[in-house]
Amino acid sequence: MITLVERTRIPAPAEYVWRFLRELDARYADLHPEHLRWRTLRGEPLTEGAVVFAEEWIGPRRLSARFFICNVEEGRSFSYRIGFPASLVRAGGSFRLSPTAERECELVEEVHLGFRAPLVGLLVHPVLALVLPLAELRRH
């Protein structure tokens, strides 16, 4: 499995950051200049079962996908899986917030794709590394 992890210390309480994440429909472009659109299609933002459409630039590629929100721990974390065609390589990830001090927190973002099965991974992961802009994903 290919996994990318980014840790960011944020000078704001975790509750504030969670509220910001729940408002991504209106604030997605505020996170990163390459973000274009985030729209909740079904359910309430950041609740289990919600479906979100996201569109952004990853390097020279404009990517869009549906995200299916799952495993939500209100105010702390959520995970997601990405719909077809990214689902073919089991793409998904998570966001976790951890308080680190009185008025700050750490945001841990994890993106994963590929397969845990050793044989399948040995065959698929080199192809993914060639086809996908992994360096751009890490930078992003």
Confidence tier at 135 by pLDDT (50, 70, 90): low
123-127 contacts, C-beta under 8 A, 24 or more apart = 124/89, 125/1, 125/2
pLDDT value at 110 more than 80: yes
Is the bond leading into 85 cis (omega within 30 degrees of zero)? Answer: yes
- pLDDT the model gives residue 124: 57
Say what the pLDDT of residue 2 is. 76
pLDDT exceeds cutoff 80 at 114: no
Q: Which ranges of the chain does DSSP label H, i.e. alpha helix?
A: 14-22, 24-31, 118-131, 134-139
**Residue 87: predicted pLDDT:** 62
**What's the rounded mean pLDDT across residues 40-45?**
96
Look-up of token digits 């549906």: 66
**Confidence at residue 83, expressed as pLDDT on a 0 to 100 scale:** 87
More confident position, 90 or 21: 21
Label residue 61 by pLDDT band (50, 70, 90): confident
pLDDT range class, residue 74, cuts 50, 70, 90: very high
